[in-house]
Amino acid sequence: MSRKIKYSLEFKLAIIGQVLSREKSLVSISRENGIERRMVYQWVEFYKRFGEAGLIPQSRVYSLENKLEVIRYFISNKVSLRETCLQFNIRCNSVLSNWLRIYESAGAEGLSETTRGKHRLMKPKIPKKAPSLQTDHEQVLEENNRLRAEVAFLKKLRALIQKEESKENKKH
């Protein structure tokens, strides 16, 4: 999966300016700048519809009513995800596709914020043994395990150092 790159507002406006002035085709502009054609198209559409505000990244929490309104619009008008997102100023098509998937599997209740997220069950706290209650034998076993781990770590460290030294000797 590739890393998500964020572009500055100035960069987006420059690209949109080139597209709208019809200096070059949308395909050639996206190739020259290493940007997906669909992304450039989306920037242009959001700019035409919402102006510069349509290009600024947003972090929104949508209410249940808003989600349902978007889903009803999508279903009743039989339009594409992209057109629906443009209509409701939702920047990413995957947001709507996730809502649709949840709506189909769990209905409107699945879209509410209270049903989302990881439900954690509280585990009963188990009191730890007090160090003074450990027997001498248990303390010796713990110390032995710690020392074994330390020796294994030091052996690996020594092997890495020797490997690096051998590489340096081969270079010279």
Q: Tokens for 15? A: 């690209």
Dump pLDDT digits (tens) for 15-44: 888 888 888 888 888 898 888 888 888 888
Measure the CA–CA gap between 116 and 110, rounded to whole angstroms: 7
71-75, Cβ contacts within 8 angstroms, sequence gap of 24 or more: 71/96, 71/99, 71/100, 71/103, 74/100
Dump pLDDT digits (tens) for 88-143: 888 778 888 888 898 888 888 887 766 555 555 666 666 665 555 678 888 899 99
User: How far, CA to CA in Å, does 29 sit from each of 16, 22, 36, 71, 137?
Assistant: 10, 10, 10, 34, 73
Q: Tokens for 92? A: 């990413």
DSSP 3: P
CB atoms within 10 A of CB 54: 19
Position with higher pLDDT, 57 vs 141: 141
At 81, the pLDDT band (50, 70, 90 cuts) reads confident
Sign of CA dihedral 128, 132, 136, 142: positive
